[in-house]
């Protein structure tokens, strides 16, 4: 058993300054060592038990707090293969988990955009293919059943619709190659002005038959280093876009200006303009403005997307400025070779 406490008496003799002898008695209670050890042991066990309980509670709370966003992120990741791309934000503040959740959220958004683009791509291509195929089939049946309808005019309709199909397929292929990086850039020095003049000759029929007026304004010939074919495709697509959306006066202006060792090529129309909140989205595939246009159906919807891909692959500055009710101006910049200019020339207008 535990020993009981005992007392200890101590006597000490001392002398005062005058020589008087005195005795000092000291009586103290002495606790046995075994009792002290037992008390400390009991206290240590109690403290240990409390610490274990607190540690368990704290670790449980922390583990739930840490694993909850991980579980949510895991569940969200499992939903991605099912086509459910709704991002779920976590309330966790730990940096690594927050970054993981942010990455998954961004991936979900991008996958959602891809899914939307795929659906729009199929819908738009189906629509664009259906119209010319219907016309070709209809005219072919009429010409088969009615020999008198085998006229050059009906044949020309079929030829024109075949051309539209070819243009659409080429646009889809170009857009796919640009996105995949399978369209290498072939840089060479060439006369940009002569290239634009050659492109404008393609619109001779359009200006003669439909009354469009396409003006080319420049003061000197510009020599640049770029991929002539692809830059020509950019200019061609921008002119097509301007022809589609220009105003009732059917006027389109191609302008070439030189400034500080660079040349700026811009294509200007007189249409209804583009709302400010749509200026960043017009470069997307198959983007259609909120305001329908009677000539918008003739395009493939890929022109500006192709323009963006080519210009970005060249690392060129480009953009668009627009004012509603007055028209739009699409432009891009190229660096001039050497002094950049040669041969004084005059502006040229194609059409009436």
Q: How confident is the model at residue 349 (pLDDT cuts 50, 70, 90)?
A: very low
What whole-number distance in Å separates Cα of residue 226 and Cα of residue 47? 79
Residue 224, φ and ψ in degrees, nearest 5: -135, 165
Tens of pLDDT, residues 122-159: 776 776 677 678 888 888 888 888 888 888 888 888 88
Q: How many CB atoms lie within 10 A of CB 98?
A: 15
Q: Are strands 213-217 and 348-351 parallel, antiparallel or unpaired?
A: antiparallel
Helices 95-145 and 152-180 cross at an angle (nearest 10°) of 160
pLDDT of residue 239: 92
Phi, psi angles (nearest 5°) of residue 258:
-110, 140
Per cent of the chain over pLDDT 70 is: 77
pLDDT bucket at 340, cuts 50 / 70 / 90: low
Q: Hey, what are 76's tokens?
A: 């969200």
Distance from C-alpha of 216 to C-alpha of 254, rounded to nearest angstrom: 5
The answer on pLDDT for 85 being more than 60 is no
Residue where one domain finishes, among candidates 157, 180, 203? 180
For residue 238 the two structure tokens come to 């921008």
DSSP 8-state code for residue 317? -
Whether residue 112 is contained in a domain is answered as: yes
Please report, for the chain, how many H helices and E strands are present, in that order.
7, 10
Q: Tell whether 108 and 221 lie within a shared domain.
A: no
Structural domain including 107 reads 95-180
| Domain containing residue 161: CATH number | 1.10.287.130
Do 142 and 287 lie in one domain? The reply is no
Please tell me whether residues 302 and 198 are part of one structural domain. Answer: yes
Per-residue pLDDT at 344: 45
| 231 confidence band (pLDDT: 50, 70, 90) | very high
Is the same domain home to 218 and 133?
no
Domain stop point among 180, 196, 229: 180
pLDDT at 218: 94
Within 8 A by CB and 6+ apart from 312, the residues are none
In sequence order, what are the beta bridge partners of 335?
A: 262
The DSSP output letter for 79 is H
Confidence of residue 224 (pLDDT cuts 50, 70, 90): very high
Number of domains in the chain: 3
CATH assignment of the domain containing 316 = 3.30.565.10
Computed over every residue of the chain, the mean pLDDT equals: 79
Distances in Å between the Cα of 118 and the Cα atoms of 78, 113, 122, 133 are 21, 8, 6, 22
Domain end position, chosen among 48, 77, 106: 77
Q: Are residue 175 and residue 196 in the same domain, yes or no?
A: no
Residue 201 and residue 263 in one domain: yes
Q: Is it the case that residue 347 has pLDDT exceeding 70?
A: no
- For 46, 60, 285, the CA distances from 54, given in Å and listed in that order, are 12, 10, 59
Rg, Å, the chain Cα set:
42
Q: How far is CA 306 from CA 202, 231, 245, in A?
A: 19, 11, 18
The greatest distance separating any two alpha carbons of the chain, rounded to the nearest whole angstrom, comes to 159
> 267: which strand partners?
254, 330
């Amino acid at each position: 058993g535990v020993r009981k406490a005992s007392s200890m008496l101590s006597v000490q003799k001392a002398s005062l300054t005058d020589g008087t002898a005195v005795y000092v008695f000291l009586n103290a209670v002495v606790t046995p060592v075994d009792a002290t050890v037992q008390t400390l042991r009991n206290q240590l066990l109690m403290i240990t038990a409390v610490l274990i309980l607190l540690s368990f509670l704290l670790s449980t709370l922390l583990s739930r707090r840490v694993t909850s966003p991980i579980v949510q992120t895991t569940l969200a990741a499992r939903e991605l293969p099912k086509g459910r791309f709704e991002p779920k934000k976590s309330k966790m503040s730990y940096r690594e988990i927050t970054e993981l959740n942010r990455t998954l959220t961004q991936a979900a958004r991008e996958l959602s955009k891809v899914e939307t683009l795929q659906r729009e791509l199929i819908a738009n291509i189906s629509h664009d293919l259906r119209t010319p195929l219907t016309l070709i089939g209809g005219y072919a049946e009429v010409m088969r059943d009615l020999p008198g309808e085998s006229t050059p005019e009906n044949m020309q309709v079929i030829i024109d619709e075949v051309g539209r199909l070819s243009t659409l397929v080429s646009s889809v292929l170009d857009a796919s190659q640009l996105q995949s990086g399978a369209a290498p850039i072939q840089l060479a020095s060439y006369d940009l002005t002569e290239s634009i003049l050659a492109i404008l000759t393609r619109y001779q029929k359009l200006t003669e038959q439909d009354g469009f007026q396409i003006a080319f304004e420049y003061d000197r010939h510009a020599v640049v280093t770029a991929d002539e074919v692809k830059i020509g495709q950019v200019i061609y697509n921008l002119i097509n876009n301007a022809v589609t959306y220009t105003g009732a006066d059917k006027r389109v202006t191609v302008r070439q200006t030189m400034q500080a060792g660079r040349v700026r090529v811009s294509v200007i129309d007189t249409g209804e303009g583009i709302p400010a909140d749509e200026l960043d989205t017009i470069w997307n595939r198959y983007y259609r403005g909120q305001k329908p246009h009677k000539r918008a159906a003739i395009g493939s919807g890929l022109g500006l997307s192709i323009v963006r891909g080519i210009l970005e692959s060249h690392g060129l500055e480009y953009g668009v400025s627009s004012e509603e009710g007055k028209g739009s101006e699409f432009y891009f910049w190229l660096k001039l070779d050497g002094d950049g200019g040669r041969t004084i020339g005059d502006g040229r207008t194609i059409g009436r």
